[in-house]
């Protein structure tokens, strides 16, 4: 039966995501009311620049006083799509204190200080939903938290940042330059307010922390995630990957240790074979593999960024939270009972692609191979290409070594030792190889 009293929604932020949330709330009002069992009323919209024209939004609803809006006391659900740590954190906790549930897309805040938010939600008996925080439109957190609640997840691996996937895809497929591709991703609304968060891997690391926390029922913070962005990836790396039948992707990988006693979470560029399903994830799409003990391997795929896809996930949460509200219940809160420690990157075992500039003379290959052997890193393949110097004489060569699986600490030791060799002029790039 339809309730006539509307549920009041306060929208904090009306940018790329917020404007789409408001638009869908208005255009799908009747369907949303039927699905929830009560109409939704947009009760206020907090922004930074009140004079900006916002199509389809009653100017009387616009305010710059987000604090007053969340303190009104008659708000049922606060939708936080401002981003960043403050004032978002204080606004969310204040919303709980004043009786509202919260839907947020703010992965940076959840990864930095989710504990404070979950505790506040629990203390006040309210919901905190955040499906949009990871992988845009893809229903991923709810399946992990609810559908797989009876299984044991051992690994989550995927592409979780649309902007960087868009950049790498453009660089690989059309030979576009890095800056040009980043500008395009920003114009399309994929990038964060500060795109450094995307290209330096902070955004993907925040998502990895959230995913690892839910998957392994433990607390993982942004600082626990090993992070490397894509700013060091060169056109030469991409070309080298192609020669190996691979492509370069920025991956987020969360793993439970074989003994089950710890977990790791990392974000870094990696080469993956062109035959791997992740290799065909184009533009700003995301794809995530979840490996669970009983379920086996599951793949989630879809648009990972942008206003409408993200608003879809926010609206899904809004409907769920409103239904809970009407039923005077709440959804599942934080599950962090395993308290598993997060191990460092040094303990991660994977394969590596190392590109070295070396002197092109007898014995160099043997010297390099000895360093790998001394650090117990086994070589899979070596490719050498000589380069002529300006006088047309041989002088330098490029050596590309791909290893078998080895611990990250052993690889770091190898590279350090290689740098000390007189015959090694430089380490041009080091990239992990995944997905084989």
Which residues in this chain contact ligand HSE in the complex, by CB under 6 A?
Answer: 136, 161-163, 190-192, 198, 203, 304-305
- Contact stretch for ligand NDP (CB under 6 A) within 100-108, 165-173, 228-236, 390-398: 100-108
Nearest 10 degrees: CA dihedral of 61, 331, 32, 315?
Answer: 60
Give the number of residues in contact with ligand NDP, rule: CB under 6 A: 29
Dist. CA 322–CA 235, nearest whole Å: 48
From the list ligand HSE, ligand NDP, none, partner contacted by residue 198 (C-beta under 5 to 8 A by kind): ligand HSE
- Contact stretch for ligand NDP (CB under 6 A) within 1-9, 11-19, 257-265, 383-391: 11-19
Do 415 and 403 contact (CB within 8 A), yes or no?
Answer: no
From the list ligand NDP, ligand HSE, none, partner contacted by residue 163 (C-beta under 5 to 8 A by kind): ligand HSE
> In angstroms, what is the minimal distance from the CB of 341 to ligand NDP?
28
Which residues from 50-69 bind ligand NDP, rule CB under 6 A? 52, 66
> In angstroms, what is the minimal distance from the CB of 206 to ligand NDP?
8
**Buried b / exposed e along 194-223 (16+ C-beta atoms within 10 A):** ebebbbbbbbbbbbbbbbbbbbbbbbbbbe
> In angstroms, what is the minimal distance from the CB of 436 to ligand NDP?
31
Per-position x/- string for 267-296, each x denoting binding to ligand NDP as judged by CB under 6 A, each - no binding: ------------------------------
Whose Cβ is closer to ligand HSE: residue 193's or residue 388's?
193
Which residues from 13-42 bind ligand NDP, rule CB under 6 A? 13-18
Extract long-range pairs of 242-246: CB within 8 Å, 24+ residues apart. Answer: 242/172, 243/383, 244/271, 244/353, 244/402, 245/273, 245/274, 245/275, 246/271, 246/272, 246/273, 246/274, 246/279, 246/433
Whose Cβ is closer to ligand NDP: residue 192's or residue 255's?
192
Residue 129, H or E segment: strand 128-129
How many helices (H) and strands (E) the chain has is answered by 14, 17
From the list ligand NDP, ligand HSE, none, partner contacted by residue 269 (C-beta under 5 to 8 A by kind): none
Dist. CA 289–CA 148, nearest whole Å: 13
Q: Which residue is nearest to ligand HSE (CB)?
A: 163
Whose Cβ is closer to ligand HSE: residue 38's or residue 230's?
230
* Start-to-end C-alpha separation, the chain: 53
Residue 267, H or E segment: strand 263-273
> In angstroms, what is the minimal distance from the CB of 14 to ligand NDP?
4
Does 193 help bind ligand NDP (rule: CB under 6 A)? yes
Whose Cβ is closer to ligand NDP: residue 321's or residue 402's?
321
Distances in Å between the alpha carbon of 382 and those of 178, 186, 378, 385, 431? 29, 39, 11, 10, 15
Dist. CA 380–CA 78, nearest whole Å: 54
Whose Cβ is closer to ligand HSE: residue 209's or residue 364's?
209
Distances in Å between the alpha carbon of 198 and those of 17, 169, 185, 272, 335? 17, 15, 11, 20, 28
Residue 72 CB-density burial (10 A; 0-12 exposed, 13-18 middle, 19+ buried): middle
Dist. CA 164–CA 157, nearest whole Å: 16
Q: How is the chain split among helix, strand and coil, in percent rounded to 5? A: 40, 25, 35
> In angstroms, what is the minimal distance from the CB of 148 to ligand HSE?
22
- Contact stretch for ligand NDP (CB under 6 A) within 105-113, 114-122, 227-235, 318-326: 105-113
Whose Cβ is closer to ligand HSE: residue 160's or residue 418's?
160
Does 49 help bind ligand NDP (rule: CB under 6 A)? yes
Do 111 and 221 contact (CB within 8 A), yes or no?
Answer: yes
From the list ligand HSE, ligand NDP, none, partner contacted by residue 13 (C-beta under 5 to 8 A by kind): ligand NDP
Cα 428 to its chain centre, rounded Å, is 27
Whose Cβ is closer to ligand HSE: residue 204's or residue 424's?
204
> In angstroms, what is the minimal distance from the CB of 43 to ligand NDP?
15
Q: Which of 207, 249, 261, 361 is catalytic?
A: 207
Residue 420 known to be catalytic: no
CA atoms within 13 A on the CB side of 119: 6
Catalytic residues: 207
Q: Which residues bind ligand NDP (CB under 6 A)?
A: 12-18, 46-49, 52, 66, 81-83, 87, 105-107, 132, 136, 189-190, 192-193, 305-306, 310
């Amino acid at each position: 039966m339809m309730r006539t009293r509307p549920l009041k929604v306060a929208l904090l932020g009306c940018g790329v995501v917020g404007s789409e949330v408001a638009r869908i709330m208005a255009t799908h009002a009747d369907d949303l009311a039927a699905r929830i069992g009560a109409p939704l009323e947009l009760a206020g919209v907090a922004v930074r620049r009140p004079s900006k024209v916002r199509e389809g939004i009653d100017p009387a609803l616009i305010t710059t006083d987000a604090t007053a809006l969340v303190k009104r006391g008659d708000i049922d659900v606060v939708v936080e799509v401002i981003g960043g740590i403050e004032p978002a954190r204080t606004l969310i906790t204040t919303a709980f204190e004043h009786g509202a549930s919260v839907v947020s897309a703010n992965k940076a805040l959840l990864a930095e200080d989710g504990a404070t938010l979950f505790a506040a939600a629990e203390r006040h008996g309210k919901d905190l939903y955040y499906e949009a925080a990871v992988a845009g439109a893809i229903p991923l957190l709810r399946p992990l938290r609810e559908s797989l609640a009876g299984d044991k997840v051992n690994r989550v691996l995927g592409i979780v940042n649309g902007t960087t996937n868009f950049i790498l895809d453009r660089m690989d497929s059309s030979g576009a330059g890095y800056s040009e591709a980043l500008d395009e991703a920003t114009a399309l609304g994929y990038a964060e307010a500060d795109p450094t968060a995307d290209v330096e891997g902070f955004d993907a690391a925040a998502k990895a922390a959230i995913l690892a926390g839910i998957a392994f029922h433990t607390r993982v913070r942004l600082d626990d995630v090993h992070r490397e962005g894509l700013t060091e990836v060169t056109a030469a790396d991409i070309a080298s990957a192609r020669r190996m039948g691979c492509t370069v992707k920025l991956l987020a990988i969360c793993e439970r240790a074989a003994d089950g006693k710890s977990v790791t979470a990392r974000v870094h560029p990696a080469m993956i074979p062109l035959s791997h399903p992740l290799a065909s994830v184009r533009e700003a799409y995301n794809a995530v593999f979840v490996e669970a003990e009983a379920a086996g391997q599951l793949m989630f795929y879809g648009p990972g960024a942008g206003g409408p896809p993200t608003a879809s996930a926010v609206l899904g949460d809004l409907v769920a939270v409103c239904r809970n509200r009407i039923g005077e219940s709440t959804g599942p809160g934080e599950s962090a009972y395993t308290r598993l420690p997060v191990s460092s990157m040094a303990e991660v075992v994977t394969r590596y692609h190392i590109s070295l500039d070396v002197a092109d003379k007898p014995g160099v290959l043997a010297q390099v191979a000895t360093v790998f052997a001394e650090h117990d890193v086994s070589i899979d393949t070596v490719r050498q290409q000589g380069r002529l110097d300006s006088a047309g004489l041989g002088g330098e060569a490029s050596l590309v070594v791909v290893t078998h699986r080895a611990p990250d600490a052993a690889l770091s030791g190898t590279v350090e030792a290689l740098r000390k060799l007189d015959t090694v002029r430089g380490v041009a790039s080091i990239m992990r190889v995944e997905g084989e």
